[in-house]
Chains A and B, each alone.
Chain A
């Protein structure tokens, strides 16, 4: 294979509908050894708080249908978000970052984050990574 390719994603939303594509892309990227950097910021930060992925809901009034949607997802054999995270990490090419300013803004302490978070960083660190990435997404 040629030189390592990179993908950088700003994860701005903490709702189920947005987190699924993030982890489906990240796990698929892992399968082709595409180095992936996930920057969790604003509402996305909820996803990397302990219990965040387990409790992610659909947005707005659709949140009432979250249970139904999760059952449907499970029924067709798609893994849950925590399972996708585990799978993604097991391939060893995904880095997870928490946004430092969001942590201040939302009063989130380091201890409240899941252990998979590799570093707490600012926007400049993300830009540094994104500049060298072949794919940059905002979800």
Chain B
């Protein structure tokens, strides 16, 4: 989980579905193409939700990992 130049951090810890994707959408709108967003979440469903969100919106999920119940995602904003 290193080597990326993070443009913005988004803390979704404690949020339940559907809040993390709603916050993710809000955050990504304010970024420019190529910007990297790092998100931390604790919702167990967020892994599949974030994969689906990226697939449907055309953004790239570069990495995802889990440590002690905290999921970390690295997403790159692609041209919309």
Contact = CB atoms under 8 A, between A and B. Distances in A.
B22 A27 contact: yes
Nearest to B28: A31
A24 interface: yes
What DSSP secondary structure best describes chain B's contact surface? helix
A87 B25 CA distance: 12
Contacts of B16: 76-78
Contact of B18 (A1, A28, A33): A28
Given A77-B14, A77-B15, A78-B16, A30 B22 contact: yes
Interface string A23-39: 01001101111100000
Nearest to A29: B18
B53 A77 contact: no
Contacts of A24: 17-18
Contacts of B24: 31
Interface residues of A, number: 15
Interface string B15-59: 111110110110000000000000000000000010011001110
26 contacts: A1-B57, A1-B58, A24-B17, A27-B22, A28-B17, A28-B18, A28-B22, A30-B22, A30-B25, A31-B18, A31-B21, A31-B22, A31-B24, A31-B53, A32-B25, A32-B52, A32-B56, A33-B56, A34-B56, A77-B15, A77-B16, A77-B19, A78-B16, A78-B19, A79-B19, A91-B22
Interface of A: 1, 24, 27-28, 30-34, 76-79, 87, 91
